Amino acid sequence: MANPTEQLTAIDKSGKKTPHEYYLLKKYEILKCGDVLKLIRRWTANEDPIYFATLEDTFDIIKRVHIATGHGGRDKMVKELSKKYANITHDAIYIYKSLCIECQRKRKRPTTKGIVVRPILTRNFGSRSQVDLVDMQAMKQGNYKWIMVYQDHLTKFCVLRPLTSKRTAEVAY
Residue 120 CA neighbour count, 13 Å, CB half: 10
pLDDT tens, position by position, 131-162 = 898 888 788 888 888 889 999 988 889 999 98
123, pLDDT greater than 60: yes
Residue 25 CB contacts under 8 Å (≥ 6 apart), including other chains:
8, 11, 17
75 and 38 both lie in a single domain: yes
pLDDT tens, position by position, 67-87 = 988 888 888 888 888 888 888
Structural domain tally of the chain? 2
1, pLDDT greater than 60: no
26 and 70 both lie in a single domain: yes
pLDDT tens, position by position, 4-62 = 677 777 776 667 778 888 887 788 888 877 887 777 777 777 778 888 888 888 899 99
For the chain, the average pLDDT equals: 82
Q: State in Å, rounded, how far the first CA of the chain is from the last one.
A: 74
pTM of the model: 0.53
Closest CA to 94 of 78, 107, 105: 78
In a domain, 118, yes or no: no
Q: Could you give the CA distance from residue 143 to residue 173 in angstroms, rounded to a whole number?
A: 18
Which residues constitute the domain of residue 136? 129-172
